[in-house]
Amino acid sequence: MTDDNNPRSQTPASLPLGLARRGFSGTIQHLSAGQAGSALSDIELESRLIELGFVEGARVEILHEGIVGRDPIAVRVDNITVAVRRREAMAIIVA
Amino acid sequence: MEAPLLHLALVGTPNSGKTSLFNALTGSRQKVANYPGVTVERKEGFFVTPQGRQVSVVDLPGTYSLRGRSPDEEITRDFVLGKASGETMPDLVLCVADSTNLRLTIRLLLELKRTGRPLVLVLNMFDIATRRGITVDVARLAQELGVPVVTSIAVRKGGTADLLKLTDEISAQVPPQPQENTWRALSVSELRATQREADRIIADNVSLPSRPDTWTARIDSVVLHPVGGLIVLALILFVMFQAVFAWAKPLMEMLSGGFDALGAFVHATLPGGLLQSFLQNGVISGVGSVIVFLPQIIIIFLFILLLEDFGYMARAAFLMDRIMGGAGLHGRAFIPLLSSFACAIPGIMATRVIDNKRDRLTTILIAPLMTCSARIPVYTLIISAFIPDTEVWGFINLQGLVMFGLYAAGIVSALGVSFLIKFFMLRDYAPAPFMLELPDYKMPRPKSIAIGIYTRAKMFLQRAGTTIFSMMVLIWFLASFPQPPAGSTEPAIDFSLAAMIGKWLEPLLAPVGFNWQIAVALIPGMAAREVAVAALGTVYAIEGGKEAAEAIGQVLATKWSLATALSLLAWYIFAPQCASTLAVIKRETGSWTWMAATFTYMLVLAYLASLATYNIAVALGAG
């Protein structure tokens, strides 16, 4: 909610990766850990995402979805595949 | 004068092929132990370089950074920094990279450089990278990174020759001036900057044809399909169960036959008396009753290691994550819980794949509730003696239905306990998000698998030789002393400490319908559940041998009420009747408290379940 004032997070074409469907392909705009509602602290979540290659400009594509609530998702990040839950993927803003 | 032992440390991200490089360097010259005070596995191996230098190499836990967010990762960080207690600071750190996926490792390497330790970047799996059309300007990469770079193909004979040569060159040099450690935990912006720097270096020195592994994509399209994937998983599990029960059976029968023969040999050779009884009943049948599980443990680990090396384990976790999440379990808990159907010991050992402490602990605590194979003899005995072999609703066998009910009760109660643990006990602990790399599939290497199985089997046998052995000696002692007075006609066990304990326990167990004979049988049953069957035989003074095993059911049917039998079944679903499982819990959690907690909660559940079962059965007229 608080991020509504953040001009970067609401550019028209951008959306959190956590809302995207299978087959979506795009580029990471920025990370916004506050939007994820993860059990991890914002800093910890952002660090972990960067460590798995989720940095600005990286190409992402959703390859697979789980059966319960289409969760978790398998995401191609450049040339590796990473499984994340949608909750954490909400922090990844893509376009 | 011989040069001192050269200390190497392997650091790398998960799935970098670090362990296969470790296996290639050291072969079977490996020592697996725990780091002091923590349950992180410490793997050290030894080899000799072509120039004859003795080298020790430690395979450190995989990590993406030096932040140390789990006990494993803290070990890696402290080890590299020379802060791990009782460890030598490594002379050389080998940073191992999967050559098809350099981004994350180059970032880790940039972080490692700040520690000031002598470094080498090993571009592992270079053959796969070449096949995919990835080219690396190795010399320029080394220059730009400021560290030596070698390529290696760990899984090929001679694939580590360059690395060995470089090790010799480095060890022959005058040791460089020790550099200062300027490492500190990176802030988010530094982390991001380091990743950008890594990406720039890769862009300058590596050409990526961006040709993804089509095999991995093709396999995943089936294996990760929401429905198809679960069917594949179920099939794999079916084969695994078949293997554990069916393939292991002849081997287990052979082993137990061997121990019986050995016992009979001792019986025939030695004069009757204490020494004969100690060797036959205490040592041979006791340790033997545990060692017979070796084939099952080997088969379980064969499957686990094969699936892990192939890259399937991460996929199974992906498929099961949300399904198990409802009960507060992590996706990665799936395989350890599965293994626990064979035996909780390998299951609890397999929880090492769960990196989060809370999730791992929950899994360890509930693993013993999975119906292990040692319960089968007890269930079979009681069911065949008390449950009529009839059909219900025309097509379901009642005995089979009861057996299924016992398995289901174990699973349901495990999920319930996990839910309660999540809800009450470990609430403050941040649940681990599920973030997991799904590595490209790789053909498992027989050598790696063989080494993995060998080290597990060795650990299991060592434990059987120490903990379990001492436990069996204790139980034999309790069941044998004091000796019956000369000329007594009653079974010897009636005069023993075990019988005294049994009679002392009887008032406690009377409300659940157990007599003192059951109480006595439960004591040796602590060593291993199925021992209770043999113990009941002894207590009811039946002659040993095969006939007794068949006859004991009839004896029980005349001596116990149906309510008592049902109560004992309920008891066995929950009771912590396995000293070796408790010992493993103690070792894996590194804490007596968690062992005691497991013992207590299982005992309480067992008592309440039996109490309810007995009283309901009596009320329904089965008393």
Please report, to the nearest 10 degrees, the dihedral formed by the alpha carbons of residues B252, B588, B436, B23 taken in order: -60
User: pLDDT tens, B428-465?
Assistant: 555 667 888 899 898 888 888 898 888 878 877 876 67
Q: How confident is the model at residue B543 (pLDDT cuts 50, 70, 90)?
A: very low
Residue B427 contacts A, CB cutoff 8 Å? no
Report the pLDDT averaged over residues B384-402: 81
First to last CA, chain A: 20
pLDDT at residue number B431: 60
Q: What is the pLDDT of residue A61?
A: 95
CATH fold label, B6-211: Rossmann fold (3.40.50)
The tens place of each residue's pLDDT in chain A, 95 residues long, gives 444 445 454 455 899 999 999 999 999 999 998 888 777 788 888 998 999 999 999 999 999 999 888 989 999 998 889 999 998 999 999 99
CA separation, residue B261 to residues B62, B254, B266, B288 (Å):
47, 10, 9, 11
How many angstroms away from the CA of B59 is the closest CA of chain A?
A: 21
Collect all residues of chain A within an 8 Å Cβ-Cβ radius of residue B229: 67
Q: Taking CB atoms and an 8 Å limit, are A50 and B321 in contact across chains?
A: no
Residues 298-357 of B with CB under 8 A from A: 314, 317-319, 321-323, 331
- Looking at residue B168, its amino acid is D
B349: Cβ–Cβ under 8 A, 6 or more apart, which residues? B456, B459, B584, B588
- Nearest 5°: the CA angle B29, B32, B35 is 135
Side chain identity at residue B204, one-letter code: D
**How far apart are the two ends of chain B, measured CA to CA in Å?**
82
Q: Quick one: which H or E segment has residue A28?
A: strand A25-31
SS3 B17: coil
Better-scored residue on pLDDT, A31 or B425: A31
> Which ipTM score applies to this complex?
0.87
What is the per-residue pLDDT for B39? Answer: 58
Sole residue written with tokens 């001492």: B470
Flag whether pLDDT at B578 surpasses 90: no
**Phi, psi (5° rounding) for residue B26?**
-110, -15
DSSP B393: T
Tell me if B343 sits within 8 A of B292, measured CB to CB. Answer: no
Q: Does B296 touch chain A (CB under 8 A)?
A: no
- Identify all chain A residues contacting B439, using CB atoms and an 8 Å cutoff: 80-81
Asked if residues B280 and B267 have their Cβ atoms less than 8 Å apart, the reply is yes
pLDDT given for residue B547 in this prediction? 46
Q: What does pLDDT average to over chain B?
A: 83
> How many CA atoms, within 13 angstroms, populate the side-chain half-sphere of residue B502?
25
Quick count: other Cβ atoms within 10 Å of Cβ B69?
19
| DSSP states along B489-558 | -S-GGGGSHHHHHHHHHHHHHGGGT--HHHHHHHTGGGT-TTHHHHHHHHHTT---SHHHHHHHHHHHHH
Cβ partners under 8 Å of residue B197, min gap 6: B107, B110
Cα–Cα dist B597/B591, whole Å: 10
For chain B, positions 133-152, list CB contacts with chain A under 8 A.
Answer: none
Q: How far apart are CA B142 and CA B201, in angstroms?
A: 10
Report which of B86, B93, B146 is spatially closest to residue B120, judged by C-alpha positions.
B93
Q: Where are the domains of chain A?
A: 2-94
> Which of B380, B363, B375 lies closest to B327, judged by CA?
B363
What lies within 8 Å, CB to CB, of B280 at 6+ separation is B263, B266, B267
Superfamily holding A2-94: Ferrous iron transport protein A (FeoA) (2.30.30.90)
Do B103 and B202 meet the contact criterion of CB atoms below 8 Å apart? yes
Quick check: bond before B71 cis, omega within 30? no
Other beta carbons within 10 Å of B110: 19
Which residues does B276 contact at the CB level (< 8 Å), separation at least 6?
Answer: B266, B267, B270
Tokens 């116990």, residue located: B560
Write the residue in A55, A68, A69 that is nearest to B192 by C-beta.
Answer: A55
Confidence grade of residue B544 (pLDDT, cut at 50, 70, 90): very low
Residue B520 pLDDT greater than 80, yes or no: no
Domain ranges (residues) in chain B: 6-211, 472-619
In sign, the C-alpha dihedral spanning B611, B613, B614, B618 is positive
What DSSP character marks residue B42?
Answer: E
The whole-number average pLDDT for the span B366-370 is 93
CB contact under 8 A, A74 and B225: no
B226 shares contact with chain A (CB less than 8 Å): yes
Cα(B190)–Cα(A45) distance, integer angstroms: 15
Question: Of B431 and B250, which is predicted with more confidence?
Answer: B250
B226 closest CB neighbour out of A48, A52, A66:
A66
Whether the CB-CB separation of B579 and B471 falls below 8 Å is answered with yes
pLDDT of residue A23: 93
Helix (H) or strand (E) holding A83: strand A80-84
pTM, two decimal places: 0.78
Distance separating alpha carbons of residues A5 and A3, to the nearest angstrom: 5
Q: How many CB atoms lie within 10 A of CB B333?
A: 29
* Banded model confidence at residue B468, pLDDT cuts 50, 70, 90: low
pLDDT at B268: 86
Question: Which of B16, B63, B98, B188 should one mutate to test binding to chain A, selecting the residue with the greatest count of A CBs within 10 A?
Answer: B188
Q: How far is A21 from chain B (nearest CA, A)?
A: 14
Which residues, other chains included, contact B585 with Cβ-Cβ below 8 Å and sequence gap of 6+? B348, B364, B365, B368, B594, B595, B598
Angle of helix B188-205 relative to helix A42-51, nearest 10 degrees, comes to 10
Q: For the stretch B368-385, what's the b/e string if a residue is b when 16 or more beta carbons lie within 10 angstroms of its beta carbon?
A: bbbbbbbbebbbebbbeb
**pLDDT tens digits, B63-96:** 999 988 777 788 899 999 888 777 888 999 999 9
User: What confidence category does residue B605 fall into, taking pLDDT thresholds of 50, 70 and 90?
Assistant: very high
By the 8 A CB rule, do B202 and B106 touch?
Answer: yes
Window from A49-63, B7-21, B35-49, B609-623 with minimum mean pLDDT: B35-49
- The answer, yes or no, to whether residue B238 has pLDDT greater than 50, is yes
Round to whole Å and give the CA distance between B123 and B128. Answer: 11
The reply to whether residue B318 touches residue A53, judged by beta carbons under 8 angstroms, is no
pLDDT at B286 over 60: yes
Determine the residue of chain A that is closest to B326 in CA distance: A68
pLDDT at B464: 66
pLDDT for B569 equals: 94
pLDDT score of B376 more than 60: yes
